[in-house]
Copies of this chain bind each other. A is one copy, B any other.
């Protein structure tokens, strides 16, 4: 198996490389990036980088012809809803258009790869209580530019799978949690702030709307799910990647304070309250479970590990 990962240097990408490095059947792992920066030391022998921009379909064709990947995981994305409101054109170019370039390169080179098209729970849009937990059969109802870009990607995936005959598996992936997550994601932001309280660098945690409920899944379980889907999923099908458990953000911040052994004090910053936050996003993961998936990390474990990495990072900063 030759694996090609877009966004291999990112949060999910590095966890995926970690996991693939443990699988004997994986012969080689390739990343693709416009700038050929060296990879972190621990990946120096395992991860080989190919220099090409995802905006350039000809460069992508050359990359795929050379590498002949058996499996492609498309993680490169601009996956912030907030950023998409500010720059919708960039959001579309860095999500939908780069994905289209990638599948088109696979089609043009006739490379027999299986491709993972990573989508988002944002595609579901606002839903009624009766529709929770969200099933893949629900039709998307995107209400922000990022969600539209992901729905467009999913619709393109179907055309490429059904009509061009490419092997493509789609996900709608839910909130991630786990070590090394950037701090613009909610769980990581709370963990970082709790450690800062512990270190006496701030007085309390600043938060947005704490009433909303989200479905958190550990990034290490996410990458296991992705490998399972690419090796055992059905082409043209769609899978929720989630824990199936809802956690209210107020509960999350309490868990984090307890795990970090700090007194739970927080304040609401109106700037962080988004105007159209969905009150509840919880997925149904039974389609993924049918393939044999079982999460390994409890939320407590994920948060403990996330706090531990923040302690390391902040101690040296």
Interface residues of A (CB under 8 A from B): 57, 85, 88-89, 92-93, 96-97, 100-101, 104, 139, 142-145, 148, 151-152, 155-156, 158-159, 162-163, 276
Contacts and interface: CB of A to CB of B under 8 A. Distances in A.
A159 B163 contact: no
- As for how many copies of this chain the complex holds, the number is 2
Contacts of A57: 89
Contacts of A143: 158-159, 162-163
Contacts of A163: 85, 143-144, 276
25 contacts: A88-B104, A88-B156, A88-B159, A89-B97, A89-B101, A89-B104, A92-B97, A96-B96, A97-B97, A139-B139, A142-B155, A143-B158, A143-B162, A143-B163, A144-B163, A145-B156, A145-B159, A148-B152, A148-B155, A148-B156, A148-B159, A151-B152, A151-B155, A152-B155, A163-B276
B89 A152 contact: no
A89 B96 contact: no
A163 B143 CA distance: 8
A57 B89 CA distance: 9
Nearest to A103: B88
Say what secondary structure dominates the interface of chain A.
helix
Interface centre among A93, A96, A144, A152 (most CB of B within 10 A): A152
Nearest to A275: B163
A23 to B, nearest CB: 33
A125 to B, nearest CB: 10
Interface centre among A93, A97, A104, A155 (most CB of B within 10 A): A155
Contacts of A162: 143
Contacts of A101: 89
A131 B97 CA distance: 32
A58 B163 CA distance: 37
Given A142-B159, A159-B145, A163-B144, A152 B96 contact: yes
